[in-house]
Every structure is written in C-alpha cells, then in structure tokens.
Amino acid sequence: MTEKIDVLAGLVAAGGVVVLSGAGLSTESGIPDYRGPSGVARRHTPMTYQTFTRDADARRRYWARSHLGWRMIARAAPNDGHRAVARLQHAGLVDAVITQNVDGLHTAAGSPDVVELHGRLDEVVCLDCGNRTSREELDRRLRQANPDFAAAVTAVNPDGDVDLADAAVARFRVVDCGFCRTGMLKPDVVFFGETVPAPRVAHCFALVERARSVLVLGSSLTVMSGRRFVLRAAKRDIPVVIVNQGATRGDGYAAVTVDAPLGRLLPALADRVAGTPAGVLS
C-alpha cells in the first residue's frame, strides 16, 4: 500500500491532474452509492427519460419520492474528501474536476468550475419552455400543493429519491412550470435513456487529453458515461490512478489502484503534496 500511495502522491504532485469523481466520494456525506461497500440495493427500476415524459403516473411517483429525498440531499454537506480535492485545486495541482454526482458537493466544498457530467439535482428545467428554476423554489411550490404529504424516510438513494408505498404516492400532487404554467418540469439531471449533452462530453474529453494524469475517486466505472474518459486517457498513455473501495471496471487501465476510504486518504494526500493545512479551505 505504501508504494501505491507514493505513486499516487508523485503523480498528483506533478500537477496537471483531472479528477473524475463518483458516488463513492459522497458516501461520507450521508449519500449512499449503489455498488460500494456502503451502497444500497436498488429496489425499484430507475426512472428513464422516456417513462418520465410519457407516463403521468410515473412522473407522480418520481416527484413524490424525490420531494422527500431532496430534503436529505439539500442537508448534505461536503466531507473531508471533497474539501481535499478543493485544496488540491487551489494549490494548482488539480486542473479540473469532472463529477458524475448530482449533489453539488464539490462546488459547496470550494472547487471552482466543476463539470457536472450528469447535471445537478438543485436545478429544475421546464421541458416545454426551457425556463430554469431552483429546486428550492420547486420545493416551496410542492409543499404548498401537498401540505399534508409526509412519510418516514430512513435512507435516500444516490439519485435523490426514496422508496414510498403506492398509497403515499397516489396522494401526491405534481405541479407544472411556474413560468409558462403548463410545461412539464424535470430535474436538470441526465436520466437513464437520456444522453449527456455532446458539448459537455467534448469538453470533458478535451480536459482529459490535456491532463498529465487522471485521478478517479469513488467510481466503480460501471457505466460508459464515466469509463469512456478512462479509456481515452489510457489510449493517450495518460496515467490513470483509481482510488475506490472495491474493484472497478477501469482497473485494467490504471497505472495504480488504491482501495481506501476517500475521507481519510485524500486529506492526507493534500497535506503531503499541497502543503496547505487542513481546514484552510471550506
């Protein structure tokens, strides 16, 4: 392990790092992942874009679950791993952060110009008129439309929803766009069956191709959405380091893999290579 940490530290100390983060980085903020050691089993079929837009009952189910789950996401705070990444950026060693997460915690930790590959849960878009609003505003409107809606929530899923009984879902009222009054609202995140906007993908490829190394943090790289950047780095002979609890689908392309808790490893790494005392950046 010591030899692996030395390789990791050497690559980060050289600068030009592009970070690719996944759900495993946010588990210590109370947001579980689906595949890691603290993950939760998916108990229902993930919402697809096609189902969301075509099925009013499915939209009601999504918004009812997400309405309660969002409250837990909104209360989540950056953890030591997020703050360590921000420290490495401010020290000039990390050039860019690409995150597969939709929780906004990199930005909350002080990281500038984060590329949020799959969007953010705290923003809402109207699919008809294109108007964008904050999730806080939508939450206020949903509370007004559902004053007596409540259910016990013990855990939130990584994509920001919770599991609810059908009887609870049936009582929930969905609201339309507050701007055009009739438009369908959707969280500004990429659903299953929906593609990441091409300009965003091209920007991420460009960041990877300019990097000296790619540092994967807390991602199993199961889906191609994130794994393609590891494949591109490997094709260009750009070293890839993967820090994750458990094996990933990118391990075969990595110069080194480290199995360790991110909340402990990343602050120690930042102390070692950035020379910035913990807690200076928030």
What are the binding residues? 100-103, 126, 129, 177, 180, 218-220, 244-246, 262
So what's the pLDDT on residue 39? 44
The two three-digit tokens of residue 16, written as one number: 């030009």
Last residue of one domain, picked from the residues 136, 155, 189: 189
**The predicted structure's pLDDT at residue 282:** 29
What is the predicted pLDDT for the residue at 45?
65
pLDDT at site 210? 98
Instruction: Report the alpha-carbon distance of residue 105 to residue 91 in Å, rounded.
Output: 19
Q: Which of 67, 82, 106, 118 is catalytic?
A: 118
237 lies in the same domain as 151? no
Question: Does the annotation count 44 as an active-site position?
Answer: no
> Could you report the average pLDDT of every consecutive run of 10 residues in the chain (282 residues)?
92 98 94 57 70 95 89 90 98 98 96 96 96 96 90 56 76 95 96 94 98 98 96 98 96 96 96 67 30
Structure tokens at 14: 């050289």
Q: What are phi and psi of 213, to 5 degrees?
A: -155, 160
SS3 assignment, position 113: coil
pLDDT at 130: 96
| 229 and 270 part of one domain | yes
- Identify the pLDDT of residue 23: 94
Task: Say whether both 205 and 140 belong to one domain.
Answer: no
CATH number for the domain spanning 237: value is: 3.40.50.1220
**Pair (110, 86) in one structural domain:** yes
**Residue 277 lies in domain:** 1-31+78-118+195-282
Q: Check whether residue 20 and residue 151 sit in a common domain.
A: no
